[in-house]
Structure 1
Amino acid sequence: MGMIGTVGLVLHPRRDSKQAIDTILRWAAGKGATVLGLPEEVGRIDCTAVPVDAASMVERADLMVGLGGDGTMLRTMRLLAGRPTPILGVNLGRLGFLAEIDVDELSETLSAIDAHEYSIEPRMAIRCTVAGASMTAFNDIALVRTPGDGLAGVSVTPSGSPFVRYAADAVIVATSTGSTAYSFSAGGPIVSPRVEAILVVAAAAHSSFNRALVLPADEEVTLQVLSSSGRLAVEVDGAVMGHLCPGDSLTVTAWPGAANVVRVGTTFYERARRKLRVDGSAEAY
Structure 2
Amino acid sequence: MHAAGLVLHPRRDSAAAVAAVLGWAAGRGIEILGIADELERLDCLAVGVSPAELGSRADLLVSLGGDGTMLRAMRLADGQRAPVLGVNLGKLGFLAEVDVPDLPRALSAIDGHEFTVEPRLAVDARLGERTVTAFNDVAVVRVPGDGSAIVAVRVNGQQFVSYAADAVVVATPTGSTAYSFSAGGPITSPSVEALLVTPAAPHSAYSRGVVLSVHDVVALEVLPSSGRLAVEVDGQVAGYVGPGETIELKARPGAARVVRLGMTTFYQRARRKLRLTDSAEIPPG
31, 35, 60: which is aligned to 2:32?
A: 35
Q: Compute the TM-score of the two structures, normalised by the length of structure 1.
A: 0.97
Unaligned regions of 5+ residues in structure 2, if any? none
In 1, distance between residues paired with 2:281 and 2:67? 33
Q: CA deviation at 1:282?
A: 4.8
275, 278, 282: which is aligned to 1:277?
A: 275
Unaligned regions of 5+ residues in structure 1, if any? none
Q: Do 1:131 and 1:242's aligned partners in 2 also have CA atoms closer than 8 Å?
A: no
167, 174, 178: which is aligned to 2:164?
A: 167
> Which residue in 1 is equivalent to 2:18?
21
> Which residue in 1 is equivalent to 2:105?
108
Q: Alignment partner of 2:258: what SS?
A: strand
> Which residue in 2 is equivalent to 1:246?
243
35, 46, 56: which is aligned to 1:49?
A: 46
Opposite residue 275 of structure 1, the aligned amino acid is: K
- What does 1:256-267 align with in structure 2 at a 5 Å threshold? 256-265=253-262, 266-267=264-265
- What does 1:58-77 align with in structure 2 at a 5 Å threshold? 58-77=55-74
In 2, distance between residues paired with 1:272 and 1:96? 11
> Which residue in 2 is equivalent to 1:230?
227
- Of 55-64 and 193-202, deviating more is 55-64
> Which residue in 2 is equivalent to 1:179?
176
In 2, distance between residues paired with 1:199 and 1:99? 22
Q: Do 1:123 and 1:258's aligned partners in 2 also have CA atoms closer than 8 Å?
A: yes
In 1, distance between residues paired with 2:56 and 2:139? 31
Query: Equivalent pairs: percent with the same residue?
Result: 60
Q: Alignment partner of 1:16: what SS?
A: coil
Q: Deviations over 1:120-175 (max 9, x none)?
A: 00000000111311100000000000001100010011122211111100011000
In 1, distance between residues paired with 2:281 and 2:180? 27
Q: Runs of 4+ in structure 1 displaced over 2 angstroms? A: 282-285
Q: Alignment partner of 2:176: what SS?
A: helix
Opposite residue 272 of structure 2, the aligned amino acid is: R
Q: Alignment partner of 2:96: what SS?
A: coil
> Which residue in 1 is equivalent to 2:132?
135
Q: CA deviation at 1:58?
A: 1.4
The 3 A distance-change label for structure 1 pair 219 and 105 is: same
Q: Compute the TM-score of the two structures, normalised by the length of structure 2.
A: 0.97
RMSD across aligned C-alpha pairs, in angstroms?
Answer: 1.0
Q: Alignment partner of 2:158: what SS?
A: coil
Q: Alignment partner of 1:31: what SS?
A: coil
In 1, distance between residues paired with 2:105 and 2:281? 42
